[in-house]
Structure formats: structure tokens, C-alpha cells
Structure 1
């Protein structure tokens, strides 16, 4: 893969040719300011700086042109003359009349004192900028001509000269600015285009001396229509133009001698017109082949980083060739991106708004890139790796010879009695001879909730114990701690199920034998649900849950790093006691306890077989509330356990377990919260882009966002097809449901920094009647999503010059809007008749009835699941 990577760099390496510059350029625009100076703030240059800069350009030009005669620039002619350079002196004109007078006086004085002055340029694009009327400028030119013996002119774009023949009559020669970049000319046509304009001026004003007073091409920056800046393009254009101009006898001045880092206000290209960079190094050779100056170094860094990022594949003990190729390929891709970012940082003048976008974007992109690598690894492992080895299989064994006692704990808080009775009845049918069941009703004073359960436990027999705890602290964890005190002394295994779960009779007979290995502390089965047929939304939620249990949990189980969730879970009592029992310092007490057990060296096992079916959240608002609780609890767990993830932290976690837990947190909490933050910051940055036309994020910052989204889609689709028993339609619903909670997870992460302890938020289940007057459950997401999409459309429609970076930024905004719009779409769907399966069945029946010979009798139009 490293060889392939190297070949790609070699194949993409550009090499161009152009006529050599045999001697020196005729003239260069000369602004002798240091790299960190800013003359626009009135900072003058120094004699020392001027001397150094004249020394820098003398080998490459025969003359220089200045644009002002104040701020010590009146010293340029004298110092240039010492090196044998001709000078065209500039007198800057703007709306400051006092300064204008100083400029004119100094320019005249310089011309009188220095014999190497070959002309004075009074004003620079003063008419174009509407700072002078043609007559005002003509009057000033005539005044200067009266007081000096050198040719006098003004600098204007070529179209201004064509539009103002009266100006031509007033000057000694035409100083025309020709910068085809601003006209959107392709690099291949620039020289021909410029010479054609020169010929047009010559034909319009025959006999008049014409000097191309500004010609150049930027070496970096964004395209403008078909005009594409670039290091290779600049070298080809400048060398070709100089050769053609010398051959045709055309006088010219190149803009400009040095890159000007302070010119960030002139769009993306303002800083990069120099023949020499800001450090006074020549940017391209004046003869011979033209190649990118930093390409080889960037390629070498990319290859070294690719190798470094590929080294972790050696930790895999059961690696296949295809799996390795994909993982190493992704590592090399990330290495190439980092090398390109480093090259951009070193070869660009990253200041002002560009500095803000660059630094913030890189800080936020790093976790996204880490997550992308993790997803590629998971994709390669599942699609091309070997089958899981540690997954417990449902084998349907008979009752083993040893049947350790299992104590099943069912905490309940204001649960519908009929629902909880179903759970207890399913427990009573368990095919296991030695178990007890504790029902813990906590903080539920209303007898209507607990009296029917107490009576039902009496009917089910002595194995069912009823506990009513009117005032227990610590939410669910507090109730489970109390249950541990009432657990039978001989119970070895503790089983935890939610109050809404109906369990399979073979749950214990299939999974309890795993504890015959004395090192096993946890055996976890997945969650599943029995009410997905309630609506389209419930089907989508159920399929979204299935992805976690059939994909992520299976892979984490291979590294003994599963996430314990508080239902369908079996724990060894001794392991729970050693880990400190249930803790109330997080609202995800199940995951917290499971991690504490694993940290002490106990093994965990996972079965993807379904042994229990609960109820889905009643509505989208409850779905979001549940996800917020999980994410907020996850952040609490990170604060509690992160030090234990460090090497030599005093735990028995293996390196693989530390890695899985750490990257798992980053992948879920980090990617979702960073993704939402990037989207919001991008939206806030749009007015800057629209209002100022600058600081559009570079493609090296927007392409990773698009690429990560593409990897997310590929990861989601491929792994669902490989691991989850579902249909394409349900998978689409799961994708919408997964995206719809991105902002919810991000808000939970944000809340974890704002609030130390949020109360446990119970997920509403079992209520079949929804409140019709419920507020729209995704209003913030709808506002942000609409804003992102509107910004994307606005940027695209106002991208008058087809700047690629603007289109990429608009596309990134559109992609970033999808999770927010998914939430808004689900919020709308929930209140629509389209959420009901019956609606789709009716529409299907009507559609079939329109087909010849396919009429469906009314009784055939029964509700059915979409895609099922």
C-alpha cells in the first residue's frame, strides 16, 4: 500500500515547460515591506528594508515601479540606482488631499534628484476606484508635467484607457494594467489575451507609447471563473509572457516583486502575486522544467505518516489481506491529508479570517478523522475480516447439571400495571429451576400503580418478592441497591430486566452456563422491542437500535469491551460486590457498573440472540429524551473513568479494552457533538463569507467533512446489509432516526459541562395515546437545518464567479443540514397520517387498483409494515 501511495504521488506530480528568461525581467512593482509589516495601517518602511529588498530583486529585474512617495518610499530610486536599476516613481492619490500634496511634491523631488527615474505615475486606478474624476486627474498630471522633465502618466486598467481618450491625450504614455485573472481567463489563454488587448490599445491610439504597467498571475488562491491560480500556472504564464513581450518589443512591468501577506483584503489571491515570496526567495526557476517546489517533501511526509498510521494493524491477530489493504489504505489517505494541510500551512500566509477558519477547523476535524479511521476499521473487519469468535450462540441446551441460583431484579417507577404484569408472567415461564424475582417499586406513592403488582406477585408464588420503596434516593440505582439487600443469600447471578420486557423462556438456560467459567462477570443479551408495528417512526427507532446491538456490540465483544445496558443483563454477584455495587453518581448506572467490573479483570460475554422484547419510546420526544440521558450519562462515565483508561492506571484493562472504550466514546459522543458544533460554526461563518467575500474555508477543510459523511453512509449501509436482518426501507428509516439525534447527543455533551448532575429522565413507554397538542419535538433542529440549507442555496446562487471553494462549502453546509432536517422530518412525520402503516396499505391498494387486472377487493387492504 505504501508503494501504491508513492506511485499515486509520482503519477500526480506536475511538470511543465516554458521559455526561459535569458536576462532579467524588464520591471517589477516594488513594495519594500517586511513579511509582518502592514503599510495599510500607515506603517512606513525603513532604509534598511529597502536596501535588503533592492538587493533581493536586482538579479531578476532591470527596473522597479513604486506606488507612493511617502513613508520613506522616496528613498527607493536612490538605492535602486546604486544597483543599476531604473525606477518608475509613483504618487499615490486618494481622498486625503494633504497626503496627496506630499505624494506629488516628493515624487517631483525624487525625479529631479535621481537620474535613474524613467517616469512618474500619478495615481493608481484612481478613476477605477472613483476617487478622482478624469478631469481632476488630468489637472494633476499636467501640473506634474510642468514641474519635471521625465514622462508622466497614470496607472489604470486597460478598459479605462479605452473609455477615456481625453486621459490618453494628457499623458506622455499609456500605463495599462492587464490582469487577466480578474477577467476569468484560463491560464492557457492569458498571454494571447493580454497581447490582443495590447494590440487593441495600439490600434485605438496609434503612435502613442504603451506600457503594460501591471501584468501578473497569482501563485495561490481560489479560481475566478476559468482563471485558476497556481504555482505552475504562475511560472508558465510569467515566463511565456516575458519571452513574447521581449520578442514583440512590448514594454511591461510585472506585479509584483514580493508576495504581500497583508493583502488578505484582496480576496484569496491578494497575497500571492509576487515573483519572490515574502521571505524573498524566488518562487519558480527562470529556466528549465517547472515543478512544484514543495511537492517532493510533502509526498515524503505523506508516505512516512501513512506508514506510521498503518503500524497499528499489526496488533490484529486474525487479519485478512483485504481487511489490511482497506485499513492501511485509509491510514495512508489520512497521512496524505495531514501532509497536505502541513504544506498548506507552510506555503500560505494564514492570517486574519483564514487563520480563524484554519485553526478552528483543524481542531474540530481531528476527532472526525479519528472516527473515520475507526469506522473504516470496523467496516473492513466486518466486511472482509474473519467471523467473530467470542459471540455466544443460541444452542438450546438442556438444563445443565449445576443450576446456580439467579436473582432477577425488575425496578419500576410509575409503570402501567398491565405492562408490568406481562413482564412478570414471562419471568414465571422461564425454563430455569432455580431463580427468584424481585420487583422494586420505587418513589411511586399512588397505590393504583403498585397494589395490582403486589397482588400479582402473590399469585405467582414465593419466588416473586414485592418491594415497595416510597422514598429511595439515587433513582434506578438506589432501587437496585435496595434490591441487593433483599436478595437471597445463595443467589450467585443477578439478572436485570426493565419493567416493560417480556423475556424468552430459554434466556437463563442458554446464558447462565457461561458463568461456569469463574472469570466471567457479565453476560449481556441485546435489547429488542415488540411494538415496532405501531407506526413508521417506531419501526425506524427499532431498526436504529438493532444496528448498535448487531454491529457495534458484536465487534466490541471481540475485545471484551461491551457496553453494559440495564436490561437483559446477567452479572455475577461477587463481581458486583467487588466493583462496589450500583452507583448513583451517574444516570447510566448499568454501564458504569459494567465498566467497573471489567476494570477489575472480570470477563464479559455477549449474545446477539434476542431473549427479551420491551416497548419502544412512545414518541420522538421520548426517543430524544432517552438518547439525551444515555449521552449525558456517558459523559458522566467519562469523567469518572477516564483516568482508568491510561496506561499504568492500576486497572486490569487490556490495551485493546482501553482502546475500544476510549474510541467508542470519541466515536459516539465526540463525533456527534463535534459534527453538530462544526455545522453551527459553519452557519455562523456564512455571513462573513457573504458579506466580506473572504475567508471561505479551504478545500482541505471542506473535503474531509464530505469524505467523512461518505464514509458514514458507506459504513451504515454496508454494515446494516451484512449484520442487521432488515429491509432497505427500514434501513433508510434507521438512517433518519440515527441522524435525527445528532443534535440531541451534542446537547447532552454540552449539558454535561453546564450541569454537574441532571435528574434521571424516565423514557415514556406503554402509553398508547399521544397528546395531539404536543409541541413540535424538533424545533431547534428545524431552525438550524433550514438555516444551513438556505445558506447552502444562497452561497451557490451568489457564487457569481464559480469559485470551487464556495461550491464545496455550500455542499458541506447542505450535508451538515441533513441530521437537523432528518429530526425535523421525523417530527413532522410523527403528526402526519403517513406515520400510520394503514395509510400506506391504503395507498398501495389504490395504486394496485389502477393497474389493469390488478384490482384489489376492499377486504384485502389490510395494514402491513412498509418493506415487510
Structure 2
């Protein structure tokens, strides 16, 4: 009944939050909608550039236009224009005057002039023939921006114009941008009128000044060439593509500017030609903007109304899709455990934001033409960024739960009462006896050891001997360690500590750590009900078992886990940073996962019911993180787990940064093995896992391994894209696939810093260092996951611990990260250096490259920081690691050791 009451209280709260988030989302769209008033276009336009190529045609690749095609397009423009301008008299365009004549349309016939003199002769011949044959040909335009492109000098072009004028029955000119006319007065002396291209966009003029700038230039030309008729032979504005300095393209801007210009030209008596009739998808030579100058799109649909209020096209569909997707994603808020209103609102608001981004991104091809390169980038970006967006939603959910939620319910307090934390009353002694249980069950502590420093292991054994618990044994298994210096001192120490301590030495053991733990089980007392796991470097508190073992009096409990901790965090500033990085997982991720009974089991400070271990199949060697694998298997059989934040034991940190990387590589690779092994079992009905538990484990894997791998993949993809953006001028809009990378990065920063502040409560310098350390592992984790995709197994790599700061500095461990990070920074610098037109999308892309470089540079920074610290320690009387006097130098690469495959801050702070 209490669950029903909770649901009844929760549903209205979540529903109100979801509705409010949707309303805010809709209001943002409404407030941001562009509605513009501009003069109506009364009657037909004076002239339109007529290049009738559809999306599959390209004049530069030899497209020949048929009469039927030309007639179709002439029918489209006929209701809107009095005249058209063409740019060539070959490739089928020589048929235009005949067809235009059928519709009563005048033609300004073009002739394309290029370095190809044979074609030039044919173009001029055809143009003159058309002028003589059709009375609707009102002028000839010989060449289009030929001088601007440098294909002819001003004098050469003037000579061509002089000869054509001598033969032409109609006025002759050439098309050039307005400044070319001023720079080459010899052109004006050889034409009948000046055909000036005045394109404010290419000059970076802001949209609000575009028309007035054109009028001012027109007046400047009149003053420079008195007595010459001036025609604005090209005026236009693109509906899509990138900005040019202060000039922003867009459908609303295009409509407003063209309608305003037509009205102003009419008032000033200016003859004009609008570029152009149809969008030209083939114009990739003009970058991302070249395809968007048409009055009609490539499907021959009018892009805006010529009268009335101007609105953004497709806006209703995009808003509808954004609200629908956002609201559907918001429904996940109903799955939150006992949420507060603001917690549910933050989650629903984030879902609405993702819905808006997805709608805009997916709708991008509706209003843009994707050439092969940009299409590949768009698809690849979606594949990479959609999972990252959903992972960001899960991180926002965690922020909401911790910052705005009610706090943990299942977390064991520092002062533990087994009775208080059982879901039902704890049985009394007689009832426990009937169940085969005791209030203080016998605990068998298992310690696998492979070439561990004897003095360190002896300290662990001494702390066990001081446990304030009457019913335990300790089984130490040393395996594959032939050197007596590692074995004999431990054996003698176990003998000195008494009969509770069992020593086992296995010289040839297969199965690595799992194999050693199987041996320990063989030597476990029959009456032991609970197996306790300890790493060889852990010193435990006396009340560890006294506090936690009684929890097994609840027959449903299979696992009780305490955090890992380290006693050598003050060994150096470098080790303090490592210690802070580990703390995030145990104080944040594990606490939240415990609320769903979905903790990640790690092979130290862990108590496992022997029956649950056996039921799950025991220790398996088919993953290199056997502890996490076993913990998940136990939960799949329906056992519950408990977690406490109290530190009951402290181990040793990795000696150096390379060991830190090796350890995390092992965790990530093992985590991928576990995901691959278990995910098919996650289908409903295959295990006793609840839907919430399955969600936690899958999100944990994706959050940690997936986010880092996708981040590296996106960085490599963007590196490949740099030369395309820098030299071909093709960049996707920032709102689609570049700005989201920055937003995801900021979410990760907020997630890490806020949750560390709320839960870990470290000094700022340690939290900052933890963030850098976590970030520095991105490539290590991605490399491990990639190996996991292609290799079924890897050898165990032991984490070096206990060297006390005396280990010599080895090879630089961040070589490849330095190379990749440098390439990303250089790519960013190249984009900025070549961005002479100040394209905003390119600046954003350059910023994205810097963001993507940070994890790689963080790796380099950590390696340099460690090297500086180690060199400093080596040059001084550096103390050994606290409480450890390691007398045996340890190998760099050996086989054994395992700890949990931790996901993100939810599993590892590697946000």
C-alpha cells in the first residue's frame, strides 16, 4: 500500500513538471520565431537569372539541357518575371530564347568566356545568331566575372567586347562585380551599358544594410560613369549556408531583402536582375552557400511568399517534431524514484532540449542540400551525437537526483543496524537457525596475491588479526610466484598469526586471479557462510565485519560492498589527485546505483554470501574483471546488494601514471567483456534483474565506455574533416553537429564539478585535479573498448603499488595522446588562420577541436605532472608510501589483479 500511495503522490508531480517543461519549450520557440514584414512584390520581377539545372545536373560536367526540361522550368518562372538572363549559349541553353518567346519573356543572352578559346568562339557565334534570330533577345552579356576570376585581363576583355559590339544587333555588355568596373574603366568604354553585380552578402554586409548598400553602390557607379546606363545585373541573398563576416544567410533574410530591394529599385527606377531563379546544388565552388540563391528551391517550389508576413519555412513541422520528441523523452521522468518537482522538471527540460536539437538536426536536409561530403558528415555526426545526447540526459538525471532530489534511501549509514536496513523484520535467533543462518555468520576472508611485496601483505594480515569479530578465518593464496623472497615471509607470518590464517602456495595456476579465488574456496571452512574479498594491499578497520556481516541475517542479501580507499593519497601531489579521482565513483556513482540495487561489485572490501556465489557459478576466468562479472551474475539470480560509503579499509594507489592507465585499461576492457557476455541476458524473463537494474547496468556501460569511445571517434572524424572545411569551405551549421559537442562538454563539466562539490567535498584543487585525471583516461578507455571489439582476451596487467615513490621514471606514457592532441590544436589553428571570411560555423568548429583536444592534452599534462613530482622525489629524501616498507622491487608488467569496470562518474569520474 505504501508503494501505491507513493505512486499516487509522484505521478501528479511528474506530470506537472513534464507539462511545464513542454510549455516552456513551446514558449521559447514562439518567442524566437522570426516574423518579418517587407514590401509586397506587385506584378512581375524585372528579370531573373535562369540557370535551369536540377539537383542531379551540373554544367561543369557536361550536362546538356533538353527542350522539354527547359520548357518545364520556363513554365515555373513565367508567372513571376518579365525577363530572364542566361550565362551561356551552349549546352542546350541556346534553345532558351525560342522557348522564352513562347511565354512572352525577354532574354538577356549570355556567352560564357573562359581560357578555352574554341568554346569562346562558339559561345559568341551562338549568342550573335540568337540575337539576330529572336526579337525577344534584348541584350548580350559576353562573359561573366571573367576579369574577376583572372581568366582574362581587362584589356583582353575590352577587345572581345569591342568586336562583338561591331556585329551585334542588340546592346552588348559583360557581367562583373561593381568594383571591377571601377578598377577597369576600359570595360565601360567598350559596352553599351554597365551590368554590375552588387551582392552585399559576399562583402559581409549585415542583412539590415544589404539593400541600402546596393543602392549606394548603384549611385557610386552612376557618378563614376555619367551618361552610361547602369543595370544591377545581379542582386540576391542566400537562404542557407554559412555567414560571411556580418552577413547571415537564411530563408527569412532572403525574403525580406529581395522584397525590399525590388520595392526600392522600383522607386529609384533601377533596372535589375535577381540572382537567381533556381537553387543550384552543383555550385560547390562557392562553398556551403553556393546552392541557396534561388527564388525557387531545387524542386521548383517558391521559397517564400511575395506578399504578406514572412515566416520561417517548415517551422510548424520542426516545432511539432521537437515538442513530440521532447515530450516522449520526458516520459522517462515517470521512472524516477520518488522525484521532487524540480528534479522532474530539470530532467523533462533536458529531454525537451534534446528533442529540439534532434528535430532541427533531422530536419536539416529538408532545407539544405547535402553534397557527398556533408551528407557523410551529417550521418556520421548523428550516429555519434545521438548516443552522446542521450548519455548527457542520463548525466543531467543524475545531477537532478543529487542536487534536487530527496537523497539516498537504501544507503547504509556509518552506524549500521542490520534490523533497520532489512526490508522486513530480521528473524530472531531461532528463526535464523531454521533458515540455516546466524546473527554473526562465519566469514572466510580471501586474499589472492601474485608477487606482492611481503611487508605490504603482512600489514594487511596484521589488520585482519585485529578485527573485532569472533567468527572468521583468512585464506591467503600466493600463485605463480616462484621467488621465495615473495613467499616465505608471508607463510611464516601466517603461521605466527595462528590457526585462523591459512596459507596456500600454488606455483602453476591457470585462470589468473579467478583461479586463485577458486583455490581459496577449496580451502574454505565448510561452515563459512560469507566470503570476504581483500586485495593484498588493504589494511582494514577493526569493525569491518562486526558492522557488515550481520546484514546477511536477511536471507535475501547476497552482497555487501564497502568503498575502496587509499592510505597514501598524501604521498605526493600527484597521488592526491589520483585519490580524488577514485573518490568520485564511490561517493557518487555507487550511491546512486545502490538506490536501484545495481551496484558495481569490486574485488576488495566486498562480502558475498557463499550460497549466492555458488548459485551464480563461482569465479569465472572468461573476463579479466571477474569480481564485477560475478557480482552481476549474483544479481541476475535475484539476490540484493547493500552499499555503505564508510571507508572500512585502505589500500595503495598505483605507483605512477602508467600504472594508473594500465589499471583503467584493464577495467574498461573487462567491462566490455562483461557487457558482451551479459547483454543478451537482459531481455525480460531471462534473469531476475528488474527493468531498473537492467537500465542502470546498460547506461553504466554506455556512460563510461561508450561516451569515451564516441568522443575519440568524433575527434578522429573531425580531424579528417579539417581540410574539407579549411580549403573547400564546406561546414555544417553549428546548431546541428558542432555546437552540441561543446554543450555536451559543458554538461560533463557541470556534472563533474557540481556532484563532486555536493558528494565528495574535496578541496577545490583536488577536485580540479580529479577532473583532469578523469579526462586524461579517454583515449585509454576508448583503446580498451576498441580492442574488446576485436580480441576475446588479453593478458592480465598487474597494477604496480607500494614502491614508495622510489620507482625510476620510465618512458613517457602519453606519446600518442600528445600526437593526437597536437593535431587537433593545429587543426583548430589552421581553421582560424584560413577563416578570412570570419565564418561563424568555422570558428565553432575550431572551438570544438580544442574541446576534443582537452582529454588528450590532459593525458600529456598528467604524465608531465607525475614526471615532475617523481623527479622531485627522486632528488630528495622521499618518504616511502605511508605504512609500507616495500623491500622487493615489483615488475612493471605481470599478470593478475582485477577491480571493477566502472562506468563514468556513475562508474568512474571520467566524464
TM class by shorter chain equals: over 0.9
Asked if 1 retains the 8 angstrom alpha-carbon contact of 2:288 and 2:729, the reply is: no
Equivalent residue for 2:408? Answer: 388
Instruction: Confirm whether residue 44 of structure 1 aligns to residue 64 of structure 2.
Output: yes
**C-alpha distance after superposition, 1:292-336 (max 9, x if no partner):** 111122111111111101111112240101101100000000011
Bigger mean CA offset, 133-142 vs 724-733? 133-142
Bigger mean CA offset, 74-83 vs 659-668? 74-83
Instruction: Confirm whether residue 758 of structure 1 aligns to residue 794 of structure 2.
Output: yes
- Whole-Å Cα distance in 2 between the matches of residues 580 and 391 of structure 1? 28
Instruction: Confirm whether residue 192 of structure 1 aligns to residue 228 of structure 2.
Output: no
Asked if 1 retains the 8 angstrom alpha-carbon contact of 2:831 and 2:846, the reply is: yes
Q: Give the 5 Å matches for 1:547-562.
A: 547-562=584-599
Equivalent residue for 1:845? Answer: none
Equivalent residue for 2:366? Answer: 346
Q: Give the 5 Å matches for 1:392-791.
A: 392-395=412-415, 402-648=439-685, 650-695=686-731, 698-791=734-827
- Whole-Å Cα distance in 1 between the matches of residues 548 and 721 of structure 2? 54
Q: Give the 5 Å matches for 1:788-803.
A: 788-803=824-839
Bigger mean CA offset, 396-405 vs 106-115? 396-405
CA drift of 1:773 comes to: 4.3
Equivalent residue for 1:68? Answer: 88
Equivalent residue for 2:300? Answer: 280
- Whole-Å Cα distance in 2 between the matches of residues 756 and 286 of structure 1? 64
Structure 2: give runs of 5+ residues left out of the alignment. 1-20, 420-428, 430-437, 879-911
Structure 1: give runs of 5+ residues left out of the alignment. 843-868
Equivalent residue for 2:424? Answer: none
Asked if 2 retains the 8 angstrom alpha-carbon contact of 1:833 and 1:839, the reply is: no
SS at match of 2:35: coil
Asked if 1 retains the 8 angstrom alpha-carbon contact of 2:476 and 2:504, the reply is: yes
Structure 1 length normalisation: TM-score? 0.94
* Equivalent in 13, 23, 29 of residue 3 of structure 1: 23
- Whole-Å Cα distance in 2 between the matches of residues 370 and 676 of structure 1? 17
**C-alpha distance after superposition, 1:774-802 (max 9, x if no partner):** 11121221222222223323433443222
Asked if 1 retains the 8 angstrom alpha-carbon contact of 2:460 and 2:536, the reply is: yes
CA drift of 1:342 comes to: 2.1
CA drift of 1:95 comes to: 1.6
Bigger mean CA offset, 494-503 vs 810-819? 810-819
- Whole-Å Cα distance in 1 between the matches of residues 294 and 806 of structure 2? 68
Equivalent residue for 1:147? Answer: 167
CA drift of 1:221 comes to: 1.4
Bigger mean CA offset, 192-201 vs 95-104? 95-104
CA drift of 1:696 comes to: 5.3
Instruction: Confirm whether residue 105 of structure 1 aligns to residue 164 of structure 2.
Output: no
Instruction: Confirm whether residue 817 of structure 1 aligns to residue 853 of structure 2.
Output: yes
**C-alpha distance after superposition, 1:626-657 (max 9, x if no partner):** 00000000111111111112334x11111001
SS at match of 2:489: helix
* Equivalent in 267, 272, 280 of residue 252 of structure 1: 272
Asked if 2 retains the 8 angstrom alpha-carbon contact of 1:781 and 1:824, the reply is: yes
CA drift of 1:828 comes to: 0.8
CA drift of 1:697 comes to: 5.8
- Whole-Å Cα distance in 2 between the matches of residues 29 and 171 of structure 1? 20
**Per chain length, whose mean CA-contact separation is higher, i.e. which structure has more relative contact order (CA < 8 Å, sep 6+)?**
2
SS at match of 2:110: strand
Asked if 1 retains the 8 angstrom alpha-carbon contact of 2:597 and 2:640, the reply is: yes
Asked if 1 retains the 8 angstrom alpha-carbon contact of 2:572 and 2:869, the reply is: no
- Whole-Å Cα distance in 2 between the matches of residues 356 and 695 of structure 1? 12
Asked if 1 retains the 8 angstrom alpha-carbon contact of 2:573 and 2:869, the reply is: no
CA drift of 1:755 comes to: 2.4
**C-alpha distance after superposition, 1:591-627 (max 9, x if no partner):** 1111111111111111111111000000000000000
Instruction: Confirm whether residue 295 of structure 1 aligns to residue 315 of structure 2.
Output: yes
Asked if 2 retains the 8 angstrom alpha-carbon contact of 1:80 and 1:87, the reply is: yes
Instruction: Confirm whether residue 24 of structure 1 aligns to residue 44 of structure 2.
Output: yes
Asked if 1 retains the 8 angstrom alpha-carbon contact of 2:726 and 2:835, the reply is: no
CA drift of 1:290 comes to: 0.8
CA drift of 1:838 comes to: 13
Equivalent residue for 1:78? Answer: 98
Q: Give the 5 Å matches for 1:109-120.
A: 109-120=129-140
The alignment's C-alpha RMSD in Å is 1.9
Structure 2 length normalisation: TM-score? 0.90
SS at match of 1:431: coil
Asked if 2 retains the 8 angstrom alpha-carbon contact of 1:535 and 1:835, the reply is: no
Equivalent residue for 2:246? Answer: 226
SS at match of 1:245: helix
**C-alpha distance after superposition, 1:475-507 (max 9, x if no partner):** 101111121122111111111110000011111
- Whole-Å Cα distance in 2 between the matches of residues 148 and 79 of structure 1? 21
Equivalent residue for 2:434? Answer: none
